Every structure is written in structure tokens, then in C-alpha cells.
């Protein structure tokens, strides 16, 4: 009798544990919103919430691609600098105008060029990592340094102003049906990426490559190709992020555009429950992850906490998140 | 000397040991057998201090061992365990591995490497093993690593040594050396617990044998009173049919796969043919080049010379994908390393190759799920659902998933490298049955196995290799262990 009770109790416990394991990030998310609302009622105002979504979308975009890279067992430390380089390309093309004030290069072409540059950097990362068999950490670190330096050189280390006119500025600052356009862009990307990850063969292979590269290779999966494409995806994401960032600022700052974004994106992915060891992860987690980071930033302002402490809070959030997700041994 | 009484252990809510008694006398070699999941490893891990029993007592040399003793405490009282999967620090030397955490020190606290090497050399010599203690672990062969593990155990002044599947990676010759060593230890008064799936080895090497089934003690017997057949029956609780293969009776001209003149650093002009419906075995010692030959055929290794013909037509295989397109399948030797993606589920693992053979960007959930269900049915994979992670399955069921991947791909030539390594008796019979069924359907089967009884049980023809060469071919009717060993050692 006692044994039966204990068993049912255990089953309940197992159930709760299961929920926690799969949805811990959502639970934490709801709790955070509740706590924030309690501390700073202003936090819950729609305009503030929408502002958070707008602010997180740029890092969020990178985080989506980063999720693919990390699930495949890699990492990309070059996304921030690549954002700056591709952003510089966009600004340079956008600020060129004819005598009558019309742009020399149509805006869509400029954006495509920006994304193409970012994807090329992703391809470079991927090809070196897979063909030279070097650790992604080192390759992307080097490519990141390279990209930043190129940006500094072409901008002569300064901030280059673009043409502060719509429709260019609307991409980053505008809203559609009250929702910030950058967030809409990220959601559309997230839906597409989610389908790719869960419904397509490619997505499954990404998991397989991250879970066990050898087994994937013995199953005939083109491991290198899968890897390279993940880096090109995060490149594309950096290009999209660059477009939104440039549009908001209407300028590229050679030294600071996109600085630290790669770490913010990686943080969002980790907080979202994707394993750095590869083979495990979900995009919904990443989305919640970057919004949590946005909320942290926002609350620092709301509560008038020194911005110098934001790193301390984010560090604590990462530690807390990974502690919660620690797998039972 | 050792007495474990009424040992119980549960993991979460499942009791895996039900009041098991286990005793070993001084100098005795006690076999321990049972199917996977019977509780052998758990019982021994309790003895080694890795798990704590829920209830029951362990008495060693008239002293009661406290319930939560650590592995180090156990080693200090004289109980050491050699695990099935060897755990070494590959970048350290042999001596460093033997004395890990117990390094001899100078008074300053710095490690006395000279003494450590000398002590290690002395122990290795006692084992009759010529391994330089200064060598790095990663440069050793598996058999040598095994010896180092034994040396490490002995360095604790061991009085009871537990060996979990010590021969699973060893060749026949190395196994013999190990058996001599065990007998030697026993003569010195050291008790040995010998866990193995290879019942013949238990009969050969042990004095007594304890059989577990589903966490309960089934029998303790003198090996003189039992046969391997009896043990197998005790383990599974029913009579196990050991059938012997007969000669290939199909069309001898229906050659499905022909390999000609494969050479590289290890292989020296190897060639063979396998016919549709034939079960061809590859025997030989570890290092004879059998796995390497299969890797060449499958496009994983690049040979210097060599040709592969499928149905008489020469084809070029540069990658695994080329092999898959030619309807080859390869169930690899090490399912954890090269066979399965452990952190993914049964459904995905069994569909990987299938997906690549079918067109389209999306994976079509219904087809994939139906595929997985069909394989679970056909291969009797015991699981909660197709969405269960492969890492949670037992060895036998994992092996079946690795096999399912190639069945779904529609392979017409299937290479199985050590198809039943780490698989328990029951599942082993099931796998043999599946292999025979496949052959009956016309699939050409190539089995690489170091397990001679396995070769005798299932193969219709056997090719024996030695150091990269084919040294002999035997039909089932001419087959005997002695003949295979004769060719395998190339004396």
C-alpha cells in the first residue's frame, strides 16, 4: 500500500520533472515577467514590452542562426564583427545618391549585397573549419578579428553616416499593426528556421552531425556540407541583423557596431536550453532566451541600476539557466 | 573471503537486485553471468563502491564494509574492479595511469617520477608484460591497455579482482595470456570475479559460476558440473537452440559483391566474392585488417589499389554515400562511435539512410514514423515508443536500431562488423534469426566476428585473414575452431 502511494507520488514527481526538463525555460520566462511586473509596474505597459521586443530582435536574429551552428556542434564568434562589415557595405551603398537625390543603388539591392557579404563570411568560416579540420572556436575568432579590422579600415576607424531617410529607417524603427518590424522579421525567420530544423531532412542531419559526427558520416550524411550551411545560415542572420541595426542607427560605427553581439546570441542560445556539446536544442528556447536577455536589459534601466552591472546580472542568468538544465547523472 | 548477503538495490522505482547473495572464497575464480540487465554490473558496482546498496551486508575478510564506502576505500581493503569500458587518461603515461591519485611523492610534495616508473615497471614485470611505463597510454594496443588496467588493480595489493567482460576487445592469443594470468593470480590467493557473456570462457577459466536472472540469484554451480549450454538455459530461463550453419545452397554464380586486389598500408591484395543469399564470415585476430577491408569497400578508407564490383559491374566508391547508392550497408563494429546518434530517437536513427535514398527536402513524418514502427515490429526492438532516445536502450536493442537503419535503406549487400558485441544471449539469437531471414530474402551478408562460436553458428563460408592477407577459406562443413585458429595465426 505504502509502496503504491510512493510510486504514484514518484510518478507525479517524474511528471513535474519532465515538464521542467522540457519547458523549464518557459516556466522561468513567465516567472521573470511576473517578478518584473511586481517590481516595476511600468514594465508591463504595452509600449515598454514592444520596445523590449524591438531591442532584442537584432541579437535575436543572430541567435536563431547560432542555434543551428551550436546544435551541429560548432560555434560562431565572428557574427558581431561580420554584422559591422556587412552593415558598412549597406551604409556605403545607401549613402551614394545621384545629383537629383535618388539613390544610386536601389535599397533592396543594397540589402541583398549586405546579406551576401555576411553569408560569404559564413561560407569562409565553414569551409576552413571543415576542410582544414580546425576548431570552430579558433577559426571564427580569427575571422571575426579579420572582419572587424576590414571594417575599421574601410571606415578609417570612424562612424559613417548613412542617409537618414525612409523607407530605409522604417526597417529598424517602424511598426506594422503596432508590432515592431524587426520583431516581425525575427518571428518570420524563426518560423522558417523551426520548420527547417524539425521538418526537413537537413534539420535532422544538423542534429545528427552535432550528436555523433562519425555515425552521421557512416550513414552517408555529407557532414561537411551540413556544417558549412549552418555557418552560412548564421551569416545570413548577421546580414539581416545588420540591415535592421543600420536602419535604426542610420550609421555604422567601425569599432562598436555589433560588438559583443556574438556573445549575447550565444548566451540566448544557452539560456534557451541548447546544449553546447551539440545534438540537442530547440528554437523556441532560443526565442525565449533572447527575450529574457532583453528583459534583463530593460529592467536594469527601469530599476535604475548601473549599466555597469548588466554583465553581472547576465552572468548570473547564464549560470542559473545552465544549473537548472543540468542533466541528471 | 567475500560474502554479500541479501543485497537489494533500486534505481528510482525499479528494483534491479532482489536480495542477492554472492560469495567468493580466497583464490577462487568465480564466474558471473546473466543477460544484459540481469544485475551483474550493478552487483559488482556495489562491491566496487560505485553504487550503495539499499539493504544487505557486505563482509570482506570478516569485516563488515560500511554501506557508503567509496571506490577508493574499497580498493584500500583489497577489492578492485576492471570495467568493461576501459577508462584511461590517454595523454598520460602508463606509470601515471597506474598510480593516478596515489603518485609517490618527494617530501616537498612534488611527484617522484623515477620511483613511479620503477614501481610500475616492477608490477608490469610481475604480469609478464613488456610495456614501457614511459609510453603514453594512447599508443598502446587495447590488449596492452587491459594489462595496464590489471596492473593498476594489482598495485592496490588486490585480494579480490572483478573483471567485467575483459576479453570483449581481445584476440584469441591475448585472451589466452589473460587466462594464464588469471590462473596465476588465483594461485597467489587472489580471488577473481569474472563477468562474461562468453559462456565458454567461463567454463574454461572459472572454478564456480553464479547465474543471475532479472536481478535474482538463479544458481551457483561448479563449472565441472555444467556446460555452456546449461548456463545459457539458466540465464534465459529456457532452452537455447544452438544451430550449426550448413553450406551455402544457393546459386554459386549469383555474385552480389566482388572485391579484387585491395591494398593499402595494412591490406595486401585482398579479394573475395559473396553471393546473393550467402552468409559469409570473416575471421581472424584483431588487427588482421578485416574492419579496414570493410571500410575500404564502404568508401571510408582510401585504398592504394582495389576494385569493387556489384552484380558484376565495376563501381567507384569514394564516400559512404556512393556505397549507399550501390545498395551496400555497413553495421559498424562500435555502435556508439560510428553506428548511432545516441542523443536522438529510434525513429530518426533508423531513417537516416532511408531519407538520403529518397528525394525531397522534407522528411515526411508519416513515412518515417511508419518505417520506425515497422522496424520495431520486425526486429522486436524493446522500447517505450519510436520517440525514445537510443541512449536509453540496452546494447541488444541499440544494435537492432543500427541494423534497422540498413534494412530501411534496402541494402542488398549487408556488412555486419561484430554484430553481437555486448549483446546478451537472448538478443543475440534474435539477431542471428534476422540475419538468416535477410539471407533467405536474397541479401548477401558479410559478417566480421572475433567470436568463433558465432562464426560457427551462423556463417555458411568463412574467410580467414592474417596481417592483411587472406590465409584461408572454409565452407561450413569443413569448419572447426582449430582450423580457423590455424589459418588466423598463420603458423
**B263 — pLDDT class (breaks 50, 70, 90):** very high
Mean pLDDT within B396-410 = 91
Residue found under cell 545621384: A98
- Tell me if ipTM is over 0.90: no
A197 touches chain B (CB under 8 A): no
Better pLDDT: B346 or A166: B346
Output the pLDDT for position B166. Answer: 83
pLDDT at A328 over 50: no
| Segment A1-23, tens digit of pLDDT | 444 445 556 677 777 777 776 67
Q: Tell which CATH architecture fits domain A45-323.
A: Orthogonal Bundle (1.10)
> Min CA distance, A280 vs chain B (Å)?
7
Output the pLDDT for position B103. Answer: 85
Output the pLDDT for position A1. Answer: 42
DSSP A328: P
| Segment B97-127, tens digit of pLDDT | 888 878 888 988 898 999 999 989 988 887 7
Instruction: For chain B, give every domain's residue range.
Output: 2-236, 255-489
Q: Does A220 sit within 8 Å of B341, measured CB to CB?
A: no
Nearest to A126 by CA among A69, A187, A210, A193: A69
Q: Does A208 sit within 8 Å of B348, measured CB to CB?
A: yes
> Min CA distance, B291 vs chain A (Å)?
13
Query: What residues in B contact A200, CB-CB < 8 Å?
Result: 361-363
Q: Does B353 sit within 8 Å of A201, measured CB to CB?
A: no
Output the pLDDT for position A192. Answer: 97
| Segment B437-484, tens digit of pLDDT | 999 999 999 999 987 788 888 999 999 998 888 998 999 888 877 788
Output the pLDDT for position B284. Answer: 83
A204 touches chain B (CB under 8 A): yes
Output the pLDDT for position B490. Answer: 62
Helix or strand or coil: residue B134?
coil
Output the pLDDT for position A2. Answer: 44
Query: What residues in B contact A208, CB-CB < 8 Å?
Result: 341, 344, 348, 352
Output the pLDDT for position B36. Answer: 65
* CATH number for the segment(s) B255-489: 3.40.50.300
Output the pLDDT for position B328. Answer: 93
Instruction: For chain A, give every domain's residue range.
Output: 45-323
Q: Does B405 sit within 8 Å of A220, measured CB to CB?
A: no
A98 DSSP β-pair partners: none
Output the pLDDT for position A21. Answer: 67
The three-state DSSP-derived secondary structure of chain A is CHHHHHHHHHHHHHHHHHHHHHHHHHHHHHHHHHHHHHHCHHHHCHHHHHHHHHHHHHHHHHHHHHHHHHHCCCCCCCHHHHHHHHHHHHHHHHHCECCCCCECCCHHHHHHHHHHHHHHHHHHHHHHHHHCCCCHHHHHHHHHHHHHHHHHHHCCCCEEECCCCCCCCHHHHCEECCEEHHHHHHHHHHHHHHHHHHHEHHHHHHHHHHHCHHHHHHCCCCHHHHHHHHHHHHHHHHHHHHHHHHHHHCEEECCCCCCCHHHHHHHHHHHCCCCCCCCCCCHHHHHHHHHHHHHHHHHHHHCCCCHHHHHHHHHHHHHHHHHHHCCCC
| Segment B318-366, tens digit of pLDDT | 999 999 999 999 999 888 889 999 989 999 999 999 999 888 889 888 8
Instruction: Specify the range with the lowest mean pLDDT, choosing from A310-314, B18-22, B258-262.
Output: A310-314
Q: Do domains B2-236 and B255-489 have the same CATH topology?
A: yes
| Segment B281-312, tens digit of pLDDT | 998 877 788 999 999 999 999 999 999 999 98
A201-211 helix and B346-357 helix, angle to the nearest 10 degrees: 120
Better pLDDT: B155 or B471: B471
Q: Does B355 sit within 8 Å of A216, measured CB to CB?
A: no
For residues B153 and B4, the answer to whether their CB atoms sit within 8 Å is: no
- For residues B279, B283, B287, B293, the Cα torsion angle rounded to the nearest 10 degrees is -30
Mean pLDDT within B230-237 = 79
Of B300, B361, B362, the CB nearest to A218: B300
For residues B345 and A280, the answer to whether their CB atoms sit within 8 Å is: no
How many inter-chain contacts (A to B, CB under 8 Å) are there? 80
| Segment B19-38, tens digit of pLDDT | 999 999 999 999 998 876 68
| Segment A96-111, tens digit of pLDDT | 888 887 888 889 999 9
Output the pLDDT for position B59. Answer: 93
Mean pLDDT within B370-378 = 92
Output the pLDDT for position A7. Answer: 52
Mean pLDDT within B149-173 = 82
Q: What is the mean pLDDT of chain B?
A: 87
Residues sharing a CB contact under 8 Å with residue B125, sequence separation 6 or more, in sequence order: none
Of B323, B352, B363, the CB nearest to A221: B352
Q: Which CATH number fits domain B2-236: 1.20.120.640, 3.40.50.300, 1.10.10.10, 3.30.565.10?
A: 3.40.50.300
> Min CA distance, A204 vs chain B (Å)?
8
Instruction: Specify the range with the lowest mean pLDDT, choosing from A252-256, A277-281, B85-89, B439-443.
Output: B85-89
pLDDT at A215 over 90: yes
Lookup: cell for B475 = 565452407
> Min CA distance, B243 vs chain A (Å)?
32
Residues sharing a CB contact under 8 Å with residue B90, sequence separation 6 or more, in sequence order: B136, B137, B138
Instruction: Specify the range with the lowest mean pLDDT, choosing from A54-68, A260-274, B380-394.
Output: B380-394
Residue found under cell 538495490: B9
Q: Tell if the pTM clears 0.80, that is, is over it.
A: no
Amino acid at each position: 500500500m505504502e509502496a503504491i502511494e510512493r510510486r504514484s507520488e514518484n510518478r507525479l514527481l517524474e511528471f513535474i520533472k519532465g515538464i521542467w526538463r522540457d519547458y523549464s525555460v518557459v516556466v522561468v520566462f513567465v516567472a521573470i515577467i511576473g517578478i518584473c511586473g511586481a517590481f516595476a509596474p511600468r514594465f508591463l505597459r504595452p509600449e515598454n514590452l514592444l520596445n523590449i521586443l524591438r531591442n532584442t530582435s537584432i541579437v535575436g536574429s543572430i541567435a536563431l542562426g547560432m542555434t543551428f551552428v551550436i546544435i551541429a556542434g560548432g560555434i560562431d564568434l565572428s557574427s558581431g564583427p561580420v554584422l559591422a562589415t556587412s552593415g558598412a557595405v549597406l551604409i556605403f551603398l545607401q549613402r551614394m545618391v545621384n545629383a537629383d537625390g535618388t539613390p544610386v543603388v536601389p535599397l533592396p539591392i543594397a540589402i541583398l549585397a549586405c546579406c551576401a557579404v555576411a553569408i560569404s563570411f559564413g561560407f569562409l568560416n565553414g569551409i576552413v573549419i571543415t576542410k582544414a579540420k580546425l576548431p570552430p572556436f579558433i577559426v571564427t575568432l580569427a575571422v571575426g578579428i579579420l572582419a572587424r579590422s576590414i571594417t575599421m579600415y574601410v571606415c578609417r576607424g570612424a562612424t559613417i553616416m548613412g542617409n537618414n531617410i525612409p523607407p530605409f529607417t522604417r526597417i529598424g524603427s517602424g511598426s506594422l499593426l503596432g508590432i515592431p518590424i524587426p520583431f516581425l522579421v525575427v518571428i518570420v525567420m524563426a518560423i522558417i528556421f523551426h520548420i527547417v530544423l524539425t521538418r526537413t531532412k537537413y534539420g535532422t542531419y544538423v542534429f545528427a552531425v552535432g550528436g555523433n559526427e562519425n555515425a552521421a558520416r557512416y550513414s552517408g550524411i555529407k557532414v561537411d556540407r551540413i556544417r558549412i550551411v549552418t555557418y552560412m545560415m548564421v551569416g545570413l542572420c548577421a546580414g539581416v541583423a545588420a540591415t535592421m541595426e543600420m536602419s535604426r542607427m542610420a550609421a555604422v560605427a567601425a569599432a562598436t557596431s555589433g560588438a559583443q553581439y556574438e556573445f549575447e546570441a550565444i548566451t540566448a542560445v544557452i539560456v534557451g536550453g541548447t546544449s553546447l556539446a551539440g545534438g540537442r536544442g530547440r528554437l523556441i528556447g532560443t526565442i525565449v532566451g533572447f527575450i529574457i536577455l532583453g528583459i534583463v536589459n530593460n529592467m536594469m534601466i527601469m530599476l535604475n541600476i548601473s549599466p555597469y552591472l548588466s554583465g553581472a546580472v547576465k552572468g548570473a542568468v547564464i549560470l542559473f539557466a545552465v544549473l537548472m538544465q543540468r542533466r541528471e547523472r | 573471503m567475500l560474502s554479500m548477503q541479501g543485497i537489494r538495490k533500486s534505481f528510482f522505482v525499479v528494483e534491479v537486485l532482489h536480495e542477492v547473495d554472492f560469495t567468493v572464497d580466497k583464490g577462487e575464480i568465480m564466474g558471473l553471468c546473466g543477460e544484459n540487465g540481469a544485475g551483474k554490473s550493478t552487483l559488482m558496482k556495489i562491491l566496487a563502491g560505485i553504487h550503495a546498496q539499499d539493504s544487505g551486508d557486505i563482509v570482506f575478510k570478516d569485516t563488515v564494509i560500511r554501506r557508503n564506502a567509496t571506490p577508493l576505500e574499497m580498493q584500500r581493503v583489497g577489492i578492485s574492479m576492471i570495467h568493461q569500458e576501459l577508462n584511461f587518461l590517454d595523454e598520460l603515461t602508463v606509470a601515471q595511469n597506474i598510480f593516478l591519485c596515489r603518485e609517490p611523492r618527494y617530501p616537498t610534495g612534488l611527484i617522484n617520477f623515477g620511483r613511479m616508473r620503477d614501481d610500475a615497471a616492477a608490477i608490469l614485470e610481475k604480469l609478464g608484460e613488456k610495456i614501457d611505463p614511459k609510453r603514453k597510454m594512447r599508443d598502446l594496443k587495447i590488449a596492452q591497455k587491459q594489462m595496464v588496467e590489471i596492473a593498476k588493480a594489482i598495485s592496490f595489493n588486490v585480494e579480490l579482482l572483478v573483471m567485467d567482460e575483459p576479453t570483449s576487445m581481445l584476440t584469441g592469443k591475448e585472451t589466452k595470456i589473460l587466462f594464464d594470468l588469471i590462473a596465476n593470480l588465483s594461485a597467489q590467493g587472489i580471488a577473481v570475479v569474472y563477468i562474461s557473456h562468453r559462456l565458454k570462457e567461463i567454463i574454461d577459466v572459472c572454478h564456480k559460476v553464479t547465474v543471475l536472472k532479472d536481478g535474482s540469484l538463479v544458481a551457483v554451480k561448479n563449472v565441472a558440473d555444467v556446460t555452456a549450454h546449461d548456463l545459457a538455459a539458466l540465464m534465459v530461463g529456457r532452452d537455447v537452440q544452438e544451430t550449426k550453419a550448413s553450406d551455402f545452397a544457393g546459386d554459386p554464380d549469383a555474385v552480389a559483391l566482388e572485391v579484387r586486389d585491395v591494398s593499402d598500408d595494412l591490406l595486401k591484395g585482398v579479394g573475395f566474392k559473396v553471393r546473393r543469399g550467402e552468409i559469409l564470415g570473416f575471421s581472424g585476430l584483431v588487427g588482421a585488417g578485416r574492419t579496414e577491408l570493410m571500410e575500404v569497400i564502404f568508401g571510408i578508407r582510401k585504398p592504394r589499389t582495389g576494385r569493387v564490383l556489384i552484380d558484376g559491374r565495376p563501381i567507384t566508391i569514394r564516400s559512404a554515400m556512393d556505397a549507399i547508392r550501390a545498395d551496400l550497408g555497413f553495421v559498424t563494429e562500435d555502435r556508439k562511435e560510428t553506428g548511432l546518434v545516441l542523443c536522438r530517437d529510434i525513429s530518426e536513427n533508423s531513417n537516416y539512410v532511408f531519407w538520403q535514398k529518397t528525394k525531397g527536402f522534407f522528411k515526411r513524418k508519416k513515412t518515417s514514423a511508419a518505417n520506425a514502427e515497422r522496424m520495431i515490429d520486425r526486429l522486436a526492438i524493446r522500447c517505450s515508443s519510436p520517440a525514445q532516445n537510443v541512449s536509453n536502450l540496452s546494447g541488444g536493442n541499440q544494435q537492432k536500431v543500427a541494423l534497422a537503419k540498413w534494412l530501411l535503406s534496402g541494402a542488398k549487400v549487408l556488412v555486419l562488423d561484430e554484430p553481437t558485441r555486448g549483446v546478451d544471449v537472448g538478443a543475440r539469437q534474435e539477431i542471428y534469426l534476422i540475419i538468416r531471414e535477410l539471407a533467405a530474402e536474397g541479401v548477401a551478408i558479410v559478417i566480421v566476428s572475433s567470436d568463433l562460436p558465432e562464426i560457427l553458428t551462423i556463417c555458411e563460408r568463412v574467410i580467414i585473414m592474417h596481417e592483411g592477407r587472406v590465409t584461408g577459406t572454409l565452407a561450413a562443413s569443413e569448419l572447426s575452431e582449430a582450423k580457423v585458429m590455424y589459418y588466423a595465426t598463420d603458423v
